[in-house]
Structure 1
Amino acid sequence: MMTMRKAAAAAVFCSLAVAACGGSGSTSSSETPEYRTIPVTVVGLAGTGLVLQRDGSETLSISLSGSYQFTAQVAVGSTFAVTVAKQPLAPRQTCTVIQGSGTVDGDASFGVTVKCVNLTTRFVYATDTGGNELAAFSFDNAGALSLIGTVNNGASSYGAGLTPDGLFLYTANRTPNTLSAYSVDTGTGVLSGVAGAPFAVAGLAPRVLAIAPSGKFLYTATQSGNTIEGYAISQGSGALTLPGSSTATGGQPLDVTITPNGKYLYAAAFNNRSVYGYSIDANTGSLTPVPGSPFPVYDLSTYARSLSMDPRGRFLFVPTYTTSVAAMTIDDATGTLTMVAGSPFGTGGAQASFAASDVSGKFLYVTNENSNSLSAYSVDQTSGQLTPLPGSPFALGFSPQAVAAEPGGQYLLVSLQSSKRIGVYALDADGVPTAVSGSPFSTGSLTPGALAVLAR
C-alpha cells in the first residue's frame, strides 16, 4: 500500500520542465506537460482507514482532510479513474469521489475531490416473497439488525430498490402487476406510502427493478411479459409516470442492472440463457439495444439467473443457476459485453443464484441456493477473472437467496429464505466473511427476498 504524501504541485512541474525551476533552456508557463500526477483533495474526513485507488492499481492511504497526490506519473490526455478502495471507520463514514474519472488534464486546476460524510443512520429493507409485508430494520455499528416495523405492501414482492439519495423505496409486485412506492424517513427508517401508489405495470409479472444513478428513471423487468418497462421518477414526490418506454427483451427476464455512469442497462433473460444490453437516453430514459445484444452466458447448460455490476462499471457477473458464475467485460464506448477468459468460474456449490460485489470491487460473493453456501472470490482488477478466496464456499444454511453489500464496505447481508432470517457477515481486509454476533437475525413471519440497504 502506498503511503500518503502532501501534494506539491511545484515539485511535480519541476520534474517535468527543468527550465522552469532554474535549469537551462526556456519553457512557456502555459505549456501542457506530457506527464503529471493526479492531485486529490479530501474534505470532511473524520474516520481512519480511508484508502483510495487509481486505475485499479496504485493505492493512497489518507488519515486527514487535505491535499494529496498519487505517486505515479500519468500521461496528459490519458484516461483515469479514482475510486474508494476502503471506507473510513471510527467514526464510520462514506466517502464519495467527485469527478473521479475522465481524461487527465495538464491544467493546474485539474484534480479529484473526495467528500466524506458520517454514516449517522443505516437501515435495511426486506421484501416478502411469501406474504404481503415489507420490513424495515435498523443496522448498528456491530452489524446487528433490529426490526423497526413492517408495512402492508398489498402484495408479495421480489425486487426492491432505493433512489440514490435514499428518499424513496420501490418494490416490484408480480401478482397484481404493480410497483409500490414509499418515502423514507432517513432519520428513523420509517416508510410512508407515496401518493398514487401502487403504480400499474403494463407488462405481466414485474419481478425486479433498477433505478438509474441520476435518480430520474426506474426500470422493471416483467417475467411473463418479456419486457422492460421504464418510468420517470418525480424528484419531489417519488411518483412514477410511464413515458411510453416499453422494450421487448428475451424470455423470462429475472434481473436488471445499470452501469454506475448510467449509460447502459442489462437484463438477465433466464430462458434465453443470455444477457440483453441497452443504451439509456439520458434525457428520455428510452432504451436502444447495444451492438451484438443479446450476449450468451456460456452454453445451453447455463442460465442467466441474476446480475451483479462491478462498482466501476467494468465487469458484469452472472450466476448461471448451475455450479458456476460467468464474468463479462463491459465496453464503455459501446456497451458490448465480452466473456472474460476462463469464464464461467466454478462456485463449488449448487444452483448459483445471486451475486454482489463489495464496495471496492475487489471481491465478489455468490449465493448457492441448493448447497446452502456462499462462494467468495477476489476479482482481478484488470481482466475480471475470479479466484476463490481461501475457505470458499462458506456454509450458510437456510436456502440463501439475495445478497447485498453494505455501503460502508464492512458487512455483507444475505436473505435466508427457508429460516425466515437475514444473515449478516463482517468482511475482513481479505474479503473473508464471518457471521457477526447474533446472526442470522429473525424476520418474523416475513420470508425475505430482496434487500435494500440505506446508509447516510
Structure 2
Amino acid sequence: MIRQVFSRAIVSACMLCAAAPVVHAATYAYVSNADSASISVFRLDRANGALTDVQTVAVGGTVMPLALSPNHLRLYAGLRSAPYRVLSFAVDPIDGHLIDLGAAPLAESMAYLSTDATGRYLFGASYGGKLVSVNPIGANGVAGGPQQIIRTGPMAHAIRSAPDNRYVFASVLGDDVWLRFAFDPATGTLTQDAAPAYRLPPRSGPRHFQFSADRRFTYLIDELDGKLHVLAFDARHDTARPVQTVSVLPDGFTGTPWGADLHLTPDGRFLYASERTSSTLVAYRVARGTGKLTRIGTYAAPHQPRGFGMDPAGDYLLAVGQLSTRMTVYRIDRKTGGLQALGDYPVGKNPNWVEIVDFDGTN
C-alpha cells in the first residue's frame, strides 16, 4: 500500500510537469455510475478480455459524461446534479488509478463532454439547459469554469470537434439538427453558422455521432426513430451530405425506439450501436470506399444499454445498461465483426458511460 501511494504521488507529480513516466503496457476502463455517484476503474487483460477491479472513486454527485484528454493522461467527469461541476482526474498509467486534481463549475447539467484536439478546451452539450459551452483547460490538464455559453434549441445532446479541429459540431435532439461552429483554437471561441450543417427529419432526435478515422464520413444515431445516418464528410470544407440511413432496431421490434450510442472500431471496418428499448447492440460492416453499412447481427446487451466503449486495439467491446449493475465484455471478431460475450462484471447503479485508455509502455 505504501509503495502504491508513493508511486501514484510520483506519477502525479510527473504528469503535472513536462516529463512523462515510463510505464508498462496496460489497458484500463472507466465507468461512470450515476446513481452510485462513483467511477469504477478496471484493468483489461488484453489476452482474454478479463477485467480486474482496480478502484472505485466516489465523486459526490450524479456522474454521467466522461471525456479523456488527447494524451489520455486526464479524465474529465461531468456531474449532472447541482452544483453542476466538471471533475479533473490524472490517470496513473502505472496502475490505472484516478488522482483527483480538482473541480470547476459547468454552465449547466451536461449530457456530453469532449475536448478539442489540442486538449486545451472542454466542450459541453446540455440537454436541459439548451446550450453548448466551452471551459478552458490549464497547462496542468485541469479544467476551469465556463468561458463561453451559446444557446441552442432544446435538448442539445453531443458535441465534438472535427478531426482537423477547425470546426465543432453539436447534435440538438429537440430541433432535429446537427450544428456547426467555427472554432478558434487560439482563444477557444466558437462561432455558430447561421444554418445547420445538416437537418434531419422531424422527430428523429439526433443524438451521438462519430467521425471516421479517414475523415471521409460521419455516423449519427437518432434517439427517437431508431435510425442511423451515414453522412459523407468533406474534410476540406467541413460539410456533410447524406449517403445512407439504416435501422438500429432488431427484427420483429415492437415498441418505442430509443437509440443511444455508437462507436467505430479503430480500423474503421465495423460500427456498433446501442438500442435501449430492446436492450441490444447492433453490428455493421463498413464499406471502405462508400462508408455504407451492412448489418452483421444483433446481440443481447445489459438492460437498457446507454453507453459502451472499445479498447484502442479493437479487440473488445465493453457495454453497460442503465437498469443493470453489470458490465458485459464482448470479444470482437476481427474478421467478421461479430460479438462474443465473454463475461459480466459488477459496476455501480445506473452505469452509463465507458471510456477505455491504452498505455503501450512507450509513455
TM-score interval, normalised by the smaller of the two chains: 0.7 to 0.9
Contact 1:416 1:423 in 2 (8 A): no
The aligned amino acid for 1:211 is: T
Equivalent residue for 2:143, pick from 240, 246, 253? 240
Counterpart of 1:366 (choices 267, 270, 273) is: 273
* Structure 1 consecutive aligned stretches of length 4 or more whose deviation exceeds 6 Å: none
Separation in structure 2 between the aligned mates of residue 205 and residue 133 of structure 1, nearest angstrom: 17
> How far is the alpha carbon of 1:253 from its aligned partner?
0.9
* Greater relative contact order, per chain length (Cα 8 Å cut-off, separation 6+): 2
Equivalence for 2:5: none
* Residues 374-405 of structure 1: CA deviation (Å, up to 9, x unaligned): 1111122232221111xx11222422121212
Does structure 1 residue 379 correspond to structure 2 residue 282?
no
Give the greater-gyration-radius structure (CA).
1
2:208 is the alignment partner of 1:306: yes
Hey, what does 2:236 align to over in structure 1?
Answer: 333
- The residue correspondences of 1:13-412 to structure 2 (distance < 5 A) are 120-141=25-46, 142-176=48-82, 177-194=84-101, 197-202=102-107, 204-236=108-140, 238-242=141-145, 244-290=147-193, 292-297=195-200, 299-321=201-223, 322-340=225-243, 343-349=244-250, 350-389=257-296, 392-412=297-317
Relative distance call for 1:348 and 1:306 in structure 2 (3 A) is same
Distance 1:254 1:328 in 2: 18
Q: Deviations over 1:240-283 (max 9, x none)?
A: 23473222223211112222332222111111111112232121
SS at match of 2:271: strand
How much has 1:291 moved relative to structure 2?
6.8
Q: Which amino acid aligns with 1:361?
A: G
Give distance in 2, aligned partners of 1:353 and 1:243: 27
SS in structure 2 at match of 1:277: strand
- Distance of 1:285 and 1:147 partners within structure 2: 37
- 397 and 243 in structure 1: CA distance in 2 versus 1, 3 angstrom threshold: closer
CA contact (8 A) 2:265 2:310 kept: yes
* Distance in 2, Cα, partners of 1:418 & 1:181: 27
Q: Does the C-alpha gap of structure 1 residues 364 and 134 become closer, same or farther in structure 2, counting only changes over 3 Å?
A: same
| 1:308-333 CA-partner distances (Å, limit 9, x unpaired) | 22223322222112322112122212
Aligned twin of 2:338:
432
Q: 2: distance between equivalents of 1:193 and 1:263?
A: 31
TM-superposition CA deviations, 1:347-370 (whole Å, max 9, x none):
233422110001011111011111
Give 1:426's aligned amino acid.
R
Match of 1:451 in 2: 354
Deviation per CA, 1:161-193: give whole Å up to 9, x if none. Answer: 111212111011112211111111111111121
- Matched residue SS, 1:307: strand
Q: Is the 8 Å Cα contact of residues 221 and 229 (structure 1) preserved in structure 2?
A: yes
Tell me the amino acid that sits aligned with residue 234 of structure 1.
G
Q: 1:291 to 1:410 in 2, by over 3 A?
A: farther
- In structure 2, runs of 5+ residues without a counterpart are 1-21, 251-256
The one of 321, 345, 348 equivalent to 1:416 is 321
Q: Is the 2:159–2:170 Cα contact (8 Å) retained in structure 1?
A: yes
Identity value in percent: 22
What is the distance in 2 between the residues matched to 1:446 and 1:455? 26
The aligned residue for residue 103 of structure 1 is: none
Q: CA deviation at 1:125?
A: 0.6
Distance 2:247 2:277 in 1: 15
User: Which amino acid in structure 2 is aligned with residue 251 of structure 1?
Assistant: P
Change (3 A) 1:334 1:327: same
* TM-score for both structures, normalised by structure 1: 0.68
Distance apart, 1:199 and its partner CA: 0.6
The structure with more strand, counted as a fraction of residues: 2
Between the aligned partners of 2:26 and 2:44, the Cα distance in structure 1 is 8
The aligned residue for residue 8 of structure 2 is: none
Structure 1 counterpart SS, 2:94: coil
Matched residue of 1:344: which SS? strand
- Distance (whole Å) between structure 1 residues aligned to residue 218 and residue 177 of structure 2: 12
Cα gap change, 1:243 to 1:198, in 2 (>3 Å): closer
The 1:243–1:421 alpha-carbon spacing in structure 2 relative to 1, beyond 3 Å, is closer
- SS of alignment partner, residue 384 of structure 1: coil
